[in-house]
Chains A and B, each alone.
Chain A
Amino acid sequence: MAELKLPVSEETVRKLKVGDFVELTGRMITGRDAAHTWLMKEYREDVAPFMKDSVIYHCGPVVSANDDGSYDFVAAGPTTSIREEPYQADVIGRYGLRGVIGKGGMGAKTLAGLAEHGAVYLHAVGGAAQVLARAIPRVERVFMLEEFGVPEALWVIEVDRFPVMVTMDSHGGSLHDQVEEHSQAKLRELLGFSV
């Protein structure tokens, strides 16, 4: 497995291919439904430096607030990414993201955006909230907590060997397309339709 340090260059990201297993170390940000519409409504100067050459993690964590004002992630697996399909490619381009972490894969618009801007889709194991929370040793700060609530806020986090699979790369490759095509052929066979 390869270790990938964040922030990461376009050159490095373009070397990643579908099927690669990588571990991320460095700083990234969480953002899901409310965050994506908010990021596109106008350019968010204060958040932008935390996104440039880093990745956005589709995650709505369980968070504990400590007495000293700091936070810890208690449970932090990925949420379904396809809901961000209308916005993702534009968010990548506008903020210079090098990757997206989520689950379930994304569609054609995002795949084209990954190729255009030099970014990858990284699949974390859905539901593995404890394994993944353990790879998030520190919460640096949070944006829009009051407005969006805990799951939807944008959390700036430090990750240490955070495990992900490359399932969509910057060369048009998508494991999700491959699996869908293969399973469709099998479905047609099981239903007795001509393949």
Chain B
Amino acid sequence: MRKAFLFLGFAVLGLFLSYYFSDDRYEKVDPKALAENCYGRVELDGRLLRVFYSKKGNLIGVVSSNGYHFLVLLNGYNYSKGDLLTVKGFASKYSGSCWVFPKQVKLNDF
């Protein structure tokens, strides 16, 4: 039982440290590399080509960067066609397209 308490103590300590050091770091990626290997926490700059509602009522944007297109879930955001955006979020392949599920979307107006 002593060993169990030791492991429990280390597990709780590890959990606390993991929570403390877990930051929201997003890696700025090359659009070509992202299109080929659509996975991970990424930061992407691009222009909003189109905004539409899916059948389930989600607001989806098509963001183009260096000729590559990515789908971004834009629920709660109010951007329109032609806006230059910086999207930080988690990229993942779904139904044959590369999606970015954003943590943060900012207007890139400089």
A and B from one complex:
no
Task: Give B contacts to A, CB under 8 Å.
Answer: none
